[in-house]
Amino acid sequence: DTAVSQTPKYLVTQMGNDKSIKCEQNLGHDTMYWYKQDSKKFLKIMFSYNNKELIINETVPNRFSPKSPDKAHLNLHINSLELGDSAVYFCASSQGRLWQGVFDEQYFGPGTRLTVT
Amino acid sequence: AQSVTQPDIHITVSEGASLELRCNYSYGATPYLFWYVQSPGQGLQLLLKYFSGDTLVQGIKGFEAEFKRSQSSFNLRKPSVHWSDAAEYFCAVDADTGKLIFGQGTTLQVKP
């Protein structure tokens, strides 16, 4: 019973292509996130959705577009891939935020290793 | 802006020895504090967290961490390290902004 799952696990593609990464959580959480881990293992948040609404949008190129069809899914679409996009992308989810009266840790998926050649 | 510093990039300890991984944060108030572990090729697993209350928190796999407000620190400890503890360890803070700010990570190597 995987809590947060991502597909694919590995993605190798050429520069200029468009690709998508999918994320699903079965924890019933309201909030989902995308993080990027670079080659030096530094983790940085990219986006966050709460009940399908975008609530965090860090300084990310607009080639990256998240989409949340429902609160259990958060997909990441990347247009015109560049070499610098090579990284491990992690999806995460949590129950909610303090302003909602709920606070919980974030649960991470296994990651998607994207290699752009 | 909030920031997290893990001063030790790489630590090597002998199996059975004690371990302490350091974490310092920069934030005006008390943030929510976390330690995550990442095994090779794996996702991040939460070891423990601090929200409020007792400043010494217990986590999984025999880890504990102590929050020291005066030092803005949240160091991770384990009394006896096992070979399976070799991994990447990340300290993270959430200053109630909805996003985790991670430290650079500490790579733990365990010698037999």
Q: Mean pLDDT, to the nearest integer, of A83-89?
A: 96
DSSP for A3-60, written as a single string: SEEEE-SEEEE-TT--EEEEEEE-S--SEEEEEEE-TT--EEEEEEEETTEEEEE-S-
In contact, A6 and A110? CB cutoff 8 Å: yes
Lowest mean pLDDT among A19-33, A60-74, A92-106, B46-60: A92-106
- Contact with chain A for residue B98, Cβ under 8 A: yes
Q: Is B71 left (phi over 0), alpha (psi -120 to 50) or beta?
A: alpha
pLDDT score of A75 more than 60: yes
pLDDT tens digit sequence for B15-32: 999 999 999 999 877 788
Residue A50 identity:
N
Report the share of chain A in percent with pLDDT over 90: 72
- Contact with chain B for residue A1, Cβ under 8 A: no
Per the structure block, which two tokens stand in for A102? 């709920």
Q: What's residue B97's pLDDT?
A: 72
User: What residues in A contact B92, CB-CB < 8 Å?
Assistant: 43
Chain centre distance of CA B96: 19
- How far apart are the C-alpha atoms of A24 and A27, rounded to whole Å? 9
Q: Mean pLDDT, to the nearest integer, of A73-80?
A: 96
pLDDT score of A1 more than 80: no
For chain A, give the mean pLDDT.
90
CB < 8 Å from B in window 67-106 of A = 90, 92, 97-98, 103, 105-106
- Contact with chain B for residue A43, Cβ under 8 A: yes
Q: Which residues contact B54 (CB under 8 A, 6 or more apart)?
A: none
Q: Which residues contact A74 (CB under 8 A, 6 or more apart)?
A: A23, A32, A33, A34, A47, A49, A66, A67, A68, A91
pLDDT score of A43 more than 70: yes
Cα end-to-end distance, chain A, whole Å: 34
pLDDT tens digit sequence for B59-103: 999 999 999 999 999 999 999 999 999 999 999 998 767 788 999
Q: How confident is the model at residue A20 (pLDDT cuts 50, 70, 90)?
A: very high
Closest CA to B68 of B19, B14, B30, B110: B30
Mutation target among A29, A33, A43 for the B interface, most CBs of B within 10 A = A43
The residue whose two tokens read 């909602």 is: A100
